[in-house]
């Protein structure tokens, strides 16, 4: 477990699973309420930390197995409403838990935690990012990007159409966020919107072949 951020209002901890997935626990310092972001395999450390807080919701960034392998383990200990993008929700629909509305732009508020859902289709149809806006001077905004945006590039896309959709989601919904926002992805280390803007600028100026998709990096040879 790593404390990623400790501000006046909220604290963010990250947990790395066996498949190098990041789960996050976001807690309100004042009230002790919290939100879990993603449930990868072997979530025991995540659960141990989460049960010390008052968990209100589990938010899923997208329907890929590596982000959900620990879902049943988490739910066995913390039965709370779940949020997942509507186009990815089929994986969880049979589960009896309440649902958090994570449609685009929807505010999600617990204690001093004020999140906003951002629909970012492309990596999966229902991929959703969660933005934690700055609510006080000096507080750093954060965005949980799942497999949509990583340091150095977008997540994997399954077709040229999905890649176009993914780039459009990133360009229109993520790179327009405050540039000091910290990007907390579903795998690996963090970056910032500013760094991502700079990397994307290189990508958008370089030649790009038609039909590009798959494992693309912003600085790679995509011609």
Q: 33 vs 143, which CB is nearer to Zn ion?
A: 143
Figure out which of the listed residues 38, 88, 112, 147 binds Zn ion, where binding follows CB under 5 A.
147
Closest approach, Cβ 124 to Zn ion, in A, equals 7
Q: 88 vs 147, which CB is nearer to Zn ion?
A: 147
Q: Enumerate residues 6+ apart whose C-beta is below 8 A from 24.
A: 4, 12, 13, 14, 15, 36, 37, 38, 144, 184
Region of 59-67, 93-101, 128-136, 214-222 interacting with Zn ion (CB under 5 A): 59-67
Instruction: Count other Cβ atoms within 10 Å, centred on residue 132.
Output: 26
Dist CA 34 CA 132 (whole Å)? 13
Total residues contacting Zn ion by CB under 5 A comes to 2
Q: Is 64 in the site for Zn ion (CB under 5 A)?
A: yes
Q: 147 vs 173, which CB is nearer to Zn ion?
A: 147
First to last CA, the chain: 40
Closest approach, Cβ 104 to Zn ion, in A, equals 19
Dist CA 52 CA 198 (whole Å)? 39
Closest approach, Cβ 64 to Zn ion, in A, equals 3
Which ranges of the chain does DSSP label H, i.e. alpha helix?
44-50, 65-68, 71-77, 160-169, 193-205
Region of 23-31, 42-50, 109-117, 140-148 interacting with Zn ion (CB under 5 A): 140-148
Closest approach, Cβ 83 to Zn ion, in A, equals 17
Q: 33 vs 162, which CB is nearer to Zn ion?
A: 162
User: Side-chain half-sphere of 182: how many Cα atoms within 13 Å?
Assistant: 13
Site string (3-42) toward Zn ion, x via CB under 5 A: ----------------------------------------
- Sign of the Cα torsion 66, 2, 178, 57 reads positive
Dist CA 132 CA 204 (whole Å)? 27
Q: 112 vs 147, which CB is nearer to Zn ion?
A: 147
Which ranges of 13-92 does DSSP label H, i.e. alpha helix?
44-50, 65-68, 71-77
Residue 39 and residue 58 in contact, taking contact as beta carbons nearer than 8 Å:
yes
Closest approach, Cβ 121 to Zn ion, in A, equals 13
Closest approach, Cβ 78 to Zn ion, in A, equals 23
User: Which residues of the chain form contacts with Zn ion (CB under 5 A)?
Assistant: 64, 147
């Amino acid at each position: 477990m790593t404390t990623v951020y400790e501000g006046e209002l909220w604290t963010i901890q990250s947990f790395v699973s066996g498949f190098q997935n990041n789960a996050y626990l976001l807690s309100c310092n004042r009230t002790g309420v919290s939100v879990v972001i993603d449930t990868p395999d072997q979530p025991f450390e995540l659960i141990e930390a989460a049960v010390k807080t008052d968990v209100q919701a589990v938010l899923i960034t997208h329907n890929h197995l590596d982000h959900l392998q620990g879902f049943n383990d988490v739910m066995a200990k913390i039965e709370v409403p779940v949020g997942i993008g509507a186009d990815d929700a089929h994986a969880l629909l049979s589960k009896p838990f309440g649902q958090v509305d994570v449609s685009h732009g929807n505010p999600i508020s617990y204690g001093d935690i004020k999140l906003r859902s951002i629909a970012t289709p492309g990596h999966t149809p229902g991929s959703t990012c969660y933005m934690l806006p700055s609510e006080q001077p000096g507080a750093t905004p954060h965005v949980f990007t799942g497999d949509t945006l990583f340091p150095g590039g977008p997540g994997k896309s399954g077709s040229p159409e999905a890649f176009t959709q993914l780039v459009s989601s990133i360009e229109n919904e993520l790179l327009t966020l405050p540039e000091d926002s910290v990007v907390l992805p579903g795998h690996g280390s963090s970056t910032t919107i500013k760094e991502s803007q700079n990397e994307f600028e290189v990508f958008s100026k370089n030649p790009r072949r038609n039909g590009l998709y798959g494992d693309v990096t912003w600085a790679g040879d995509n011609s």
